[in-house]
Amino acid sequence: MSYPSIETLYSRFLTCSRVCTDTRQLQEGDLFFALKGDNFDGNQFAARALAAGAAYAVVDDPQVAVTEQYLLVENTLTTLQELARHRRRQLNIPILAITGSNGKTTTKELIAAVLATTHLTHFTQGNFNNHIGVPLTLLALPDDTEIAVIEMGANHVGEIAALCEIAEPTHGLITNVGLAHLEGFGGFDGVKRGKSELYRYLARHKGVAFVNLEEPYLAELAQGVDRIIGYKLAAHPRVDIPYYELQVKQISPRIEVAFLDARGQFHTIHSQLSGKHNLQNISTAVAVAKYFKVPAAGIVAAIENYRPVNNRSQWLEKEGIHYLLDAYNANPTSMRASLISFAELADTDKIAILGDMLELGNQAATEHLAIAQLAQTLPIGKIYLVGPLFQPAAEQLGIPHFQDANQLLAAFDRSPWVGKHVLIKGSRGMRLEKIVD
């Protein structure tokens, strides 16, 4: 059986308004890809997609392909990925890939914001950072895109390498290497190996690696990359590679930093972010912006105007309570950073509500106990633990515990929280945002 070439499929793609994989979100003129999942087969929805106005349906079940509007391929997922790579190759532009254990999304958004002041910039939307999301992001690149910022997520060794083969990045950075997705990676060494696949790709293809010299392991993992751009804080020792430097003016309650422009003039950024982890995110964005020759005024304006969304380090005030909502994701590294940053808030009454950290495998009990013990050593008035993984630590240390957010809400009158600062941190699956909603 013969299948259409990628060139033929690409010519059809160019006549369509966009690519869609979900008939519930389909618009007239879309190119529908019938992907398969654990509990569904997109081939069964192809007819519905065409009836709803799709221009074509890409399918891999011969029994479905009954008219010329059905484009029969061997495998719809690999075809989606190959079509995305072909699209990328038609655009002679820099593609910056971002991966890491923590901070990917905030760093991506900050970088996109600063680059957009001088370049037509397209970047990963939401969490479209996997083997389906990255191809969809590439296929959504407008023809006039000048720079693309592509977030790459992974929870197994080999996944970043595969995404690099699709996106073919020219530039890349790893935010950090931490204790995230330990179960899938098989331990911390697996995390290091998996994240370093981005640097290995750049080394083979003469790409540029941005390396945060403040973060452990990154300089080591970047060995072999010929073109390295380092960046660091001013207090960090000097190094022998080209680097950008950021001066820290304050971290709490909001980050203020300064940097030198090409003429040797200082510029100060008064950001809306807090915490040492966000300091590194800002440092990364400034370094990338300076490399791509974004004027200082654009860097300052973009970072000062940035506000986190989607439950990521969001300061919210509701009924007189000051919430720091950071419930988008959690692992031991990000949990420690959030707790320490929160504890550094001066002259405030503080409450910490901590939810389970998922995907830690056989390290779950140890890591949850370590976080609970850390929280007890910090100047935080009250600590509440939420979720079954935190229960053993709560019982051992005598910390109030709740099975889920609903149980916590039912147990509390929040009026005593008025005027206090409340950190809410946990994995997305814990749905701790309910506490604020």
For residues 282 and 271, is the Cβ–Cβ distance under 8 A? yes
Residue 182 in this model has a pLDDT that exceeds 70? no
**What pLDDT is attached to residue 154?**
86
Retrieve residue 59's tokens: 């399918």
**Locus of tokens 């946990």:** 426
How do residues 322-371 score in pLDDT, each as one tens digit? 999 988 888 898 899 889 989 988 777 999 999 999 988 888 999 999 99
Report the chain's mean pLDDT, rounded to a whole number: 92
Residue 309 in this model has a pLDDT that exceeds 80? no
Phi, psi of 326 (to 5 degrees): -135, 60
Peptide bond into 253 cis (omega under 30): yes
- Mean pLDDT over residues 409-425, rounded? 89
Interhelix angle 6-14/76-90, rounded to 10 degrees, is 70
CA 331 to chain centre: 13
Residue 245 in this model has a pLDDT that exceeds 80? yes
Residues 6+ apart with CB under 8 A from 293: 118
Answer yes or no: pTM beyond 0.75: yes
Query: Residue 408 and residue 428: Cα distance in Å, rounded?
Result: 17
Can you say whether the dihedral through the CA atoms of 387, 392, 393, 396 is positive or negative? positive
Q: Which of 170, 130, 132, 131 is CA-nearest to residue 149? A: 170
How do residues 193-219 score in pLDDT, each as one tens digit? 888 999 999 999 999 999 999 888 999
* DSSP secondary structure code for residue 357 in this structure: P
**Locus of tokens 């083997």:** 131
Domains contained in the chain, CATH given: 6-74 (3.40.1390.10), 91-305 (3.40.1190.10), 314-435 (3.90.190.20)
The CA-based dihedral angle spanning residues 333, 336, 339, 340, taken in that order and rounded to the nearest 10 degrees: -120
Rounded CA Rg of the chain? 23
- Mean pLDDT over residues 32-54, rounded? 95
- Kind and range of the H or E element at 49? helix 46-51
Beta bridge partners of 70: 57
Residue 425 in this model has a pLDDT that exceeds 70? yes
SS (H, E, C) 388-414: HHHHHHHHHHCCCEECCHHHHHHHCCC
Query: Residue 289 and residue 259: Cα distance in Å, rounded?
Result: 12
Retrieve residue 332's tokens: 């031991």
**Locus of tokens 């389909």:** 26
* Band of pLDDT at residue 294, cut at 50, 70 and 90: very high
How do residues 143-154 score in pLDDT, each as one tens digit? 999 999 999 998
Residue 312 in this model has a pLDDT that exceeds 80? no
